[in-house]
Amino acid sequence: MIVKLDNKAEIINKINKLKKEKNAIVLAHTYQNVEIDEVADFSGDSLYLSRMAASTDADIIVFAGVYFMAETAKILSPKKTVLLPNLEAGCAMADKINLKQLREFKEKYPEIPVVCYVNSTAEVKSESDICCTSANAVNVVKSLNSEKVLFVPDQHLGSYVESQLDGVKVITYSGFCPIHHEITVEDVNTKKKLYPNAKVMVHPECTSDVTALADFVGSTTAIIKEVKNSKDNEFIIVTEKGVVDRLKRDCPQKSFILVNERAICNSMKLITLEDILAALTEEKHKIEVDSNIAQKALAAIDRMVKING
């Protein structure tokens, strides 16, 4: 549901007032509807928001993202109240592997450390050695000093990491993000023909044949930073639409082309300003994680958070 313009300012004012009264903060992922940034204390990719969740002094964390992100925030801040404004906001990638499937995967490759992309459930994190995000996946795998690693659940990010490291075999699970997985070489080449001077900026959740066409490969935050610092003025953005929306807002003098109109995460777009207001007002949709699972998952997340880069 889209906020009506005549109500928007009032809703934003109410949210900001409640944040002060309840010592609450709002964390917003880059794929959210761009209007959510107007009430967000911090917005960015999973790594940045994980660090903010771990360091905040707020009593309440409202996570404008998807379920696994709110779970991660709760694991990092177990004594704080974590609210997910819309419980329907899930992640198709996270749903591609469960605890049983991970254990079966590990049994096939014993004694090999498991790197778990944060786009996963708390249970899957609890069975892994260390977590990573798209921003720090290469550094995380490098930190293990292992010739082989298991990587779950994203096969494409895992393959990209392997391509960046000499002498490391990354054995990937078969999961993927449907939004990035469905972006094709034809999509990129079509846009390149229309915009021959545009730089191609690709998220590493894309397939290897798509990343091979990139002028730059990086997380959402890395793409945004690279674009803002670039002397170029035209860019094809090969990731979710939220990145394009923010770049158009922040860099109006530059031109941004979304790789295709299908690159929209509908789950990320479920949360509205009204949902955030309702969650804060009623303190509803509290996220809870089993203490035993949380303790094990925390070790994997904490190892990630402490790695630079």
Same domain assignment for residues 152 and 301: yes
The reply to whether 209 and 76 lie within a common domain is: no
pLDDT digits (tens), the chain, 309 positions: 444 445 899 999 999 999 999 999 999 999 999 999 999 999 998 878 878 988 999 999 999 999 999 999 999 899 999 999 999 999 999 999 999 999 999 999 999 999 999 999 999 999 999 999 998 999 999 999 999 999 999 999 999 999 999 999 999 999 999 999 999 999 999 999 999 999 999 999 999 999 999 999 999 999 999 999 999 999 999 999 999 999 999 999 999 999 999 999 999 999 999 999 999 999 999 999 999 999 999 999 989 888 865
Tell me: do 234 and 157 sit in the same domain. Answer: no
Residue 40 lies in a domain: yes
State phi, psi for 238 to the nearest 5 degrees.
-105, 70
**Count of domains forming the chain:** 3
What are φ and ψ of residue 64, in 5° steps? -85, 90
Q: Do 278 and 227 sit in the same domain of this protein?
A: no
Q: Are residues 153 and 301 in the same domain?
A: yes
Q: Is residue 216 part of a domain?
A: yes
Q: Are 276 and 62 contacting, i.e. CB atoms less than 8 angstroms apart?
A: yes
Residue partners of 292: CB distance under 8 A and separation at least 6: 126
Structural domain contains residue 187: yes
Residues 154 and 301 in one domain: yes
The whole-number pLDDT of residue 41 equals 97
Residue span of the structural domain in which 118 resides: 94-178+295-305
Do 141 and 206 lie in one domain? The reply is no
| CB contact at 8 A, 200 and 215 | yes
pLDDT at 48: 85
Residues 72 and 200 in one domain: no
As a whole number of angstroms, the distance between CA 132 and CA 140 comes to 6
Same domain, 78 and 220: no
Tell me the pTM.
0.91
Query: Containing H/E element for 22?
Result: helix 5-22
Residues 66 and 84 in one domain: yes
Burial 47-83 (b: 16+ CB within 10 A, else e): bbbbbbbbebebebbbbbbbbbbbbbbbbbbeebbbb
Residues 173 and 299 in one domain: yes
| Backbone phi, psi, residue 221, to 5° | -65, -40
In a domain, 143, yes or no: yes
**For residue 263, is it within any domain?**
no
Pairs from 105-111 (Cβ < 8 Å, separation ≥ 24): 105/150, 105/152, 105/173, 106/150, 109/148, 109/150, 109/171
CA distance 303 to 168: 20
Q: Do residue 160 and residue 301 come from a single domain?
A: yes
Query: Could you tell me the CA-to-CA distances from 238 to 12, 87, 133 in Å, in that order?
Result: 31, 28, 18
Our CA angle for 191, 194, 198, nearest 5°, is: 70
pLDDT score, position 51: 82
CATH code of the domain in which 153 resides: 3.40.50.10800
pLDDT recorded at residue 308: 62
Query: Tell me, what's the pLDDT at 5?
Result: 45
